[in-house]
Structure formats: C-alpha cells, structure tokens
Amino acid sequence: MAQLKPGSVAVPEIPVEERVELPASETAVIVVDMQNDFVKPEGRLFVPTAPQTIEPIRKLLEKARKAGVKVFYTQDTHYEGDPEFKIWGEHARYGTWGWEIVEELKPVEGRDIVVRKTRYDGFYGTPMDDLLRVYGIRNTVIVGTVANICVLHTAGSAALRWYKVYVPMDGISALNDFDYYAALRQISFLYKGVVVRSVDGIEFK
C-alpha cells in the first residue's frame, strides 16, 4: 500500500487561557484512561509522554477534591476477543494489571466515580451523561490519555451534549506531537473547548 507522507504542516494558532475559575458544584474532572497499560513503560500500549502528566493530574485532583468537585475516571475495559485487539493488540483487559488505574492516581473509594468503557468515547454505552446530569454538571475538565483518541472522543462527546470542555495542556499525552496538537486543535476549534496552559491555572470556587 502506498503511504501518504506530506511535508511539514503548520499548527494553526490555538487560543490558550492562562487562568480559568470554575464553579465547584457544576464542574467535574474526568480522568481518561490513566491505566498501567498506557502510562507505565511495561504497559502494552505505552504512551511515552503519559508519565509526565501524572503529577499535574495529581495536583488537579487534589484541588478538585478539596473544593468538593466531582471526579470521574474512565477505564478502558476489554474482554477476550474484543475487536479493538485487532487494531491495537491486547490492552486494558479486564482484571489485569494493565487495566488498573495507576497507583499514583487511584480513585478515592466511595467518592470518585469510575466509568468503564469499551470504546474511545467515555459516553458511548456508559452512564456518563446520566451521572453528569444527576449531579448538575455543566463544565468538564478533561485530562488523561491518549490525547487524540480517548481524550478527544470523550471531549467531543461531552461538547456535543453541550457540556463545556476545559483541557489543561500538561494533563494530556499523545504518541507524537502531531497527534497532541491535532487533539488540541479539534477540542478548541471544533468543540469550542477551552485549552488551558496548565492545571495550575485552573481554580474551583
């Protein structure tokens, strides 16, 4: 098969906010797929820049929990024979070490909500939308991996349901720069999401 290989393409300008203040009671943090298979070098689908997002996400979660902000996690979950294994190889298989959310970002039992998903989109076939509505959420701060895959699809799905999307640049990771910036471009340009420079610029009031 021939490969399409264009030369360098320029990243269009992406507006970046330095600081946003979000109402704690109407905001949820969604941590996408921060599971061993994606975040740890021994994982089956390791994203090389994912480890450096652990600390920013940890800081964001600390702020969120202190302010009483709802925290959701998506957990990619597959079983034997899942068609996604044909695309990516086996990963995030239910019950394995790789499927587990990384130790550093473990959900708080009885507080945080873990939504298991079978595809890229955290809303597809899950109770995510229902849960966000129940809690009166209007804003979502989305972090995690992979930027142009599960983060983008979850952000897009949130935006299509008219949730406002905020994405801190130091909270997402991709397999390469093109994918990283392509995700930010789509979130900003297409879904009217807000790209924030860093988790440090996100406050809950």
Instruction: Mark 134-173 with x for binding to Zn ion (rule: CB under 5 A) and - for no binding.
Output: ----------------------------------------
Q: Any contact of residue 121 with Zn ion (CB under 5 A)?
A: no
Q: What tokens appear for 33 in the block?
A: 């797929």
Smallest gap from residue 34 Cβ to Zn ion (A): 13
Of 88 and 135, CB closest to Zn ion: 88
- The count of C-alpha atoms lying within 13 angstroms of the C-alpha of 171, restricted to the half-sphere facing its C-beta, is 29
Query: Shortest CA distance to 117 belongs to which of 53, 45, 32, 40?
Result: 32
| Residue nearest to Zn ion as judged by C-beta position | 76
Are the C-beta atoms of residues 37 and 156 closer than 8 Å to each other? no
Q: How far apart are CA 78 and CA 168, in angstroms?
A: 28
- Through-space distance between the first and last CA atoms of the chain, rounded to whole angstroms: 54
Tell me if 38 sits within 8 A of 175, measured CB to CB: no
CB of 121 to Zn ion, least distance (A): 11
- For Zn ion, the binding residues in 79-118 under the rule CB under 5 A are 84
Is-contact 194 27, C-beta < 8 A? Answer: no
Q: Which is nearer to Zn ion, 26 or 84 (CB)?
A: 84
Eight-state DSSP code of residue 144: E
165 close to 142: Cβ distance less than 8 angstroms: yes
Compute the least distance from the CB of residue 199 to Zn ion, in Å: 25
Least distance CB 78 / Zn ion (angstroms): 6
Residues marked as catalytic: 33, 117, 150
Which tokens belong to 146?
A: 């992979």
Select 84 or 200, whichever has its Cβ closest to Zn ion.
84
Toward Zn ion, which CB reaches closer, 70 or 78? 78
x/- letters, 42..81, toward Zn ion (CB under 5 A): ----------------------------------x-----
Which residues contact Zn ion (rule: CB under 5 A)?
Answer: 76, 84
